Structure 1
């Protein structure tokens, strides 16, 4: 691979949500602030919405890693869980011994007692659910009922839903309106701006051990940013492929041609026509000629 060629200690643009590469660009820093404020405020349900590849899972893992000591965190990466399975997951997290024949009512009561004991210790449970747009309706209803467990002053369980825009569409359904009303804090992750994309690429290279001059210049970053539409996952894919192509050519830096090859080889990116340089000089000349002809015609009339 290209690691030795570019003096890297690790692959900089992997798709796994590695918090080692987390960079507090504006959208992610703001999302973290919202999450911290919402948890500290004791809100029951918090929602983070973002398109595919905008960094929701990485943000979730980052938030879990920096949870204050008064929180017990439970991460559910698989949204295809039934109401029964989510109760078991919470019970396991709370170290409740589960009898194979226990019914759901008894299990819910055991969870409530355990949450009460946790509250007496000055702690509470936070459940992080990724890809929440895929949760079954019955599971969403179970989550809503769990947020009813409270004392006179505190919610005993808080839930953070990370989902794609489809989650908002689902919550607008009449049958889920009670759950929607419980969502007190919400944040919408946006794609990165050009300036943020440039910082993002530089940061990941630096965290991977790169110390030389910038591998990607302003022109190549702009090509990648436009093609990726500012979506971090697509940025990673295009940068990784551009590095492979440039390494194959033996180039010390990433060329425009290598980036164009990466874009052509990638699905779900925006493709823009690449005009030859001489055309940029010809277009103003043609426009000027048109202006002269138009002016002459007006004078002739």
Structure 2
């Protein structure tokens, strides 16, 4: 592994989110500011959105690592496409409550009781829901109803929603989410890192694993890393990890832009679907006529058949006559039913 070759104590570019490697880019610093403001309010919803790989999960890990667990109980759900009652069951289970065989009203009663108990013990409860873009309207509505629980004028539950950009668009535009929008007290959309943040990001992660300057980096590699990752942390980690792996295999003591370009091209080729060439078709000479009915060959024109047209016309006339006869029979039947006296009730 490249960490052994370069004398690193760990792999700095793993794809698994790790709050140890938290890097405060501009967008992540803004997100933490909004989170801090929202948590200080102690109510409503906080909404953070961002592209896949923008660092939402690392943000949550950093938040969880820094909270005072004596004053705040944070529970996390990774949502799937669950409807409203299933969302209640997941919430109850995250609070350590049994849910088997309980009706919705009983679930709500148990959740509220547990939240009240936390409040009596001097702790607030934060529910973090990841992958919020998967939630149907019914689940979002149940979350909104949970945010209504209060005790002594204080909210018993605060909710933190994490989602991809499609959730942001849906959240902003859907008329059916107006009531939930009115409960949002802080929101932020995570963007990609800026070009000048790539070098500090890479050096920061390397420093956390005891990097001693091996490998070195040429100035041109930072622009290449940015261009091929788009500034998204997960893509950057994947690319940087592959670059270091290649460097360890080839014994490189310095990484330059050409190395980054080569690895990026290899990764793009690996990700692209294999081209599947069409099987070769035999060439047809201009003098060759395609058999009738074969693809590319014109169908032979047929002259109209007067006898067939006459038969079709007669059949259409017969259908019209039959429909008229059916309508007459139905009319007589209705007249007969309406004129028939009601039958006497049976005594048997």
Shorter chain as denominator, the TM-score bin is: 0.7 to 0.9
Deviation string, structure 1 residues 23-64 (Cα, Å, up to 9, x no partner):
222221221121122111113100011111110011012112
SS of corresponding position for 2:74? strand
Q: Which residue of 1 aligns with 2:178?
A: 177
Per-residue CA shift, 1:192-244, capped at 9, x if unaligned?
A: 11221111100111112211266323210111112212111111111111112
- Corresponding residue for 1:194? 195
Aligned residue in 1 for 2:157: 157
- Secondary structure at 1:52 match in 2: coil
Q: Determine the structure 1 residue equivalent to 2:63.
A: 63
SS of residue paired to 2:38: helix
Q: Highest CA radius of gyration, 1 or 2?
A: 2
Unaligned stretches of 5+ residues in structure 1: 269-301
Match of 1:84 in 2: 85
What residue number does 2:279 align with? Answer: none
Question: Which range moves more in the overlay, 12-21 or 171-180?
Answer: 171-180
Using structure 2 for the length normalisation, give the TM-score.
0.72
How far apart, in 2, do the equivalents of 1:223 and 1:132 lie?
A: 33
Does 2:54 match 1:54? Answer: yes
Instruction: Work out the CA distance in 1 between the residues paired with 2:82 and 2:203.
Output: 39
Report which stretch shifted further, 151-160 or 88-97. 88-97
Asked if 1:146 corresponds to 2:143, the answer is no
2:7 is the counterpart of 1:10: no
RMSD: 1.8
Matching of residues 248-259 of structure 1 within 5 Å: 248-259=249-260
1:25 aligns with 2:25: yes
Could you say which residue in structure 2 is the equivalent of 1:130? 130
Distance 1:260 1:88, change over 3 A: same
Aligned to 1:206: 207
Q: Is it true that 1:226 corresponds to 2:230 in the alignment? A: no
Partner residue in 2 for 1:43: 43
Question: The residue matched to 1:3 in structure 2 has which SS?
Answer: helix
For 1:5 and 1:257, locate their aligned partners in 2 and report how far apart those are by CA, in whole Å.
21
Matches within 5 A, 1:212-291: 212=213, 215-267=216-268
3-state SS, counterpart of residue 158 of structure 2: strand
Q: Higher RCO, 1 or 2 (CA under 8 Å, sep at least 6)?
A: 1
1:151 deviates by 3.0
Find the residue that maps to 1:84 and give its secondary structure: helix
**3-state SS, counterpart of residue 42 of structure 2:** coil
Q: Is the 8 A contact 1:242 1:261 kept in 2?
A: no
* Structure 1 residue 95, shift from structure 2 partner: 3.0
What TM-score, normalized by structure 1, do the two folds share? 0.83
Q: How far is 1:11 from its partner?
A: 1.2
Q: CA–CA distance in 2 between the matches of 1:180 and 1:214?
A: 49
Confirm or deny: 8 A CA contact 1:48 1:187 kept in the other structure.
Answer: yes
**After superposition, where does 1:116-127 map in structure 2 within 5 Å?**
116-127=116-127
Q: Which secondary structure state, in structure 2, belongs to the residue aligned with residue 266 of structure 1? A: helix
Give the Cα–Cα distance (whole angstroms) in 2 for the partners of residues 214 and 202 of structure 1. Answer: 11
* Other structure's SS at 2:2 match: coil
Q: State the alpha-carbon separation in 2 of the partners of residues 228 and 178 from structure 1.
A: 38
Q: How many residues align?
A: 267
Give, in whole Å, the separation in 2 of the partners of 1:22 and 1:107: 37
Rounded Cα–Cα distance in structure 1 between residues aligned with 2:8 and 2:176: 52
